[in-house]
């Protein structure tokens, strides 16, 4: 006998607590699109994406309607473009981004990721040209996302690449200054990037993956928040147990949608990403979950511990609910995309330094942070280096998605629009890191023993 209250619980989660599937992302390998002729290569890229993802959006919409669960985004990730374009006889990689943009728009998806390079140890010719082209590629496309992996636990940190990324971010902000540096919201700098991440802007389709694959990202900060409201004043044992149970339910839904999409699209199921991904909507915030645990404002003392508990409990609950878990799988703390984070940043309690500490215990990193337009490229590089060091030493993925907004300064608001939300411009330290960044070279890979 079916329990009517269970059914009503599910409906309440969807209607009132913003439960949704955040994204169905189809990963597509472009390794068979290589060609010496760049135009031919672009044509092959366009054709393959359109062929594989032709039914992605329609299938997503059908699942949405039949199961009654919103699927917010349908997206595509592709093989890091530096690997594909590296074979071409050209130095200008912008046409590859344009081909991705055109294919993604024709398929009806809202983002395509994979304008990417993996340069944690060094740069090949294709990586060089791709990095050079990032600002123009992001300025001349609408829905292409770019990512660069500059470090890993096994390889250390490529500080030459870190230095370049600071300049690339500045240039991207300049070229997209009419939209408050929107280009930077589509550019992620990683350490320990994962190959099966379904979330933008950092998604790409790794070379160890199948020809095409379906990855699903779930959401549900609102559901966790609501569940925690029922255990006010109780011990952390109860909090952890409640988060685990809720994460299990959310992930089961993601697993079901992933299996269904995989079957209908005749594409192998890859992973479910367990990340708690917030949106700017009230009631869908990770910061509010932390505050519900007893913090007056997110960012005050105790925030890192609260986040550590949340992140771990989400994984423990989610792992059992899914056949294969992967991607980034943790709590996201993007400032502009989280109503509670925005409020905490405006309040002055949440600072970049505290966010950096929080990234030690959660997925992913300094995400969607607006900083003053006069922040130097070296300072941005130094922020990236700090974040990459956290990822490298702790064997986890970290990332930086930072927006130096031209013409804006601390206290101004930046409107990104839609799911990207809005962010207050946050202060950075004024003391220079220029000589540190100018050194270049590599920071060696860390010891994996003698851990303290």
Partner 1 sequence: MKAIVTVVGKDQVGIIAGVCNTLADENINVLDISQTIMQGYFTMMMVVDLSACATPFDRLSAKLSAFGEGRGLSVRIQREDIFDAMHKI
- Assign 152 to helix, strand or coil: strand
Q: Rule CB under 8 A: is residue 65 a binding residue for partner 1? A: yes
Chain centroid to Cα 325, Å, comes to 16
For residue 323, state whether it binds partner 1 (rule: CB under 8 A): no
Q: Could you tell me which residues come within 8 angstroms of residue 55 by beta carbon, excluding any fewer than 6 positions away?
A: 264, 265
Nearer to partner 1, 257 or 388 (CB): 257
Q: Contact with partner 1 (CB under 8 A): which of 42, 119, 256, 377? A: 256
Comparing CB distances to partner 1, the nearer of 238 and 320 is 320
Considering the rule CB under 8 A, would residue 8 count as an interface residue with partner 1? yes
Under the criterion CB under 8 A, does residue 62 sit at the interface with partner 1?
yes
CB of 224 closer than 8 Å to CB of 262: no
Nearer to partner 1, 322 or 359 (CB): 322
One-character DSSP codes across 359-411: TTSSSS-EEEEEEETT--HHHHHHHHHHHHHHHHHHTS-EEEEEEEETT--TT
In the complex, what is the shortest distance from the CB of residue 277 to partner 1, in angstroms, rounded to a whole number? 19
Residues 36 and 90: their CA atoms lie apart, in Å, by: 9
Residues whose CB falls within 8 Å of the CB of residue 332, separated by 6 or more in sequence, listed in order: 199, 275, 276, 277, 278, 286, 338, 362, 363, 364, 367
Q: Is 253 in the site for partner 1 (CB under 8 A)?
A: yes
Is the bond into 201 cis (omega within 30 degrees of 0)? yes
The reply to whether 5 sits near partner 1 by the rule CB under 8 A is yes
Q: Is 55 in the site for partner 1 (CB under 8 A)?
A: no
Residues touching partner 1: how many (CB under 8 A)? 22
Spatial separation of the C-alpha atoms in residues 141 and 343, rounded to whole Å = 31
Based on the shown chain and the rule CB under 8 A, indicate whether residue 69 belongs to the binding site for partner 1.
yes
Q: Among all chains, which residue has been given the structure tokens 């609501």? A: 226
Decide if residue 10 touches partner 1 (CB under 8 A): yes
Smallest distance, Å, CB 106 to partner 1? 23
68 lies in the binding site for partner 1 (CB under 8 A) = yes
Work out whether 451 is an interface residue with partner 1 (CB under 8 A). no
Answer yes or no whether residue 16 interacts with partner 1 by CB under 8 A: no
Closer by beta carbon to partner 1, 31 or else 320: 320
Q: Is 252 in the site for partner 1 (CB under 8 A)?
A: yes
Q: What are the CA-CA distances from residue 164 to residues 60, 384, 432 (Å)?
A: 38, 11, 17
Residues of this chain that interact with partner 1 (CB under 8 A) are 2-11, 62, 65-69, 249, 252-253, 255-256, 260
């Amino acid at each position: 006998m079916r329990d009517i209250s269970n059914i009503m619980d599910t409906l309440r989660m969807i209607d009132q607590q913003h439960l949704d599937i955040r994204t169905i992302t189809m990963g597509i390998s472009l390794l068979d699109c290589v060609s010496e002729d760049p135009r031919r290569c672009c044509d092959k890229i366009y054709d393959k994406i359109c062929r594989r993802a032709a039914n992605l959006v329609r299938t997503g919409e059908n699942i949405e309607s039949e199961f009654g669960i919103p699927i917010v985004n349908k997206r595509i990730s592709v093989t890091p473009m530096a690997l594909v374009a590296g074979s071409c006889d050209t130095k200008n990689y912008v046409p590859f981004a344009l081909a991705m943009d055109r294919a993604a728009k024709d398929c009806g998806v809202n983002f395509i990721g994979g304008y990417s390079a993996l340069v944690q140890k060094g740069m090949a010719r294709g990586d060089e040209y791709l990095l050079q082209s990032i600002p123009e590629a992001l300025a001349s496309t609408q829905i292409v996302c770019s990512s660069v992996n500059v470090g890993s636990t096994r390889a250390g940190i490529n500080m030459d690449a870190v230095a370049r990324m600071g300049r690339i971010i500045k240039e991207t902000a300049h070229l997209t200054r009419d939209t408050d540096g929107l280009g930077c919201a589509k550019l992620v700098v990683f350490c320990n990037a994962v190959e099966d991440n379904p979330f933008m802007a950092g998604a790409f389709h790794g070379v160890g993956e199948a020809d095409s694959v379906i990855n699903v990202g779930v959401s549900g900060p609102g559901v966790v928040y609501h569940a925690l409201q029922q255990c006010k004043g109780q011990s952390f044992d109860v909090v952890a147990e409640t988060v685990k149970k809720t994460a299990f339910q959310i992930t089961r839904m993601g697993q079901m949608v992933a299996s269904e999409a995989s079957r209908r699209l005749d594409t192998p199921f890859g992973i479910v990403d367990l990340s708690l991904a917030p949106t700017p909507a009230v009631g869908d915030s990770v910061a509010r979950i932390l505050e519900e645990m007893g913090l007056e404002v997110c960012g005050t003392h105790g925030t890192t511990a609260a986040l550590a508990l949340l992140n771990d409990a989400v994984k423990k609950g989610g792992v059992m609910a899914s056949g294969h878990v992967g991607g980034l799988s943790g709590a996201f703390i993007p400032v502009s995309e989280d109503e509670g984070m925005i409020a905490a940043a405006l309040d002055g309690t949440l600072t970049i330094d505290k966010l950096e500490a929080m990234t030690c215990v959660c997925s992913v990193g300094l995400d969607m942070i607006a900083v003053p337009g006069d922040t130097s490229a070296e300072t941005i590089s130094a922020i990236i280096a700090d974040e990459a060091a956290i990822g490298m030493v702790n064997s986890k993925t970290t990332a930086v998605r930072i927006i130096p907004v031209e013409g804006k300064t601390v206290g101004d608001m930046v409107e990104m629009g839609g799911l990207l939300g809005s962010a207050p411009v946050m202060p950075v330290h004024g003391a220079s890191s220029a000589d540190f960044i100018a050194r270049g070279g590599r920071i060696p890979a860390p010891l994996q023993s003698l851990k303290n």
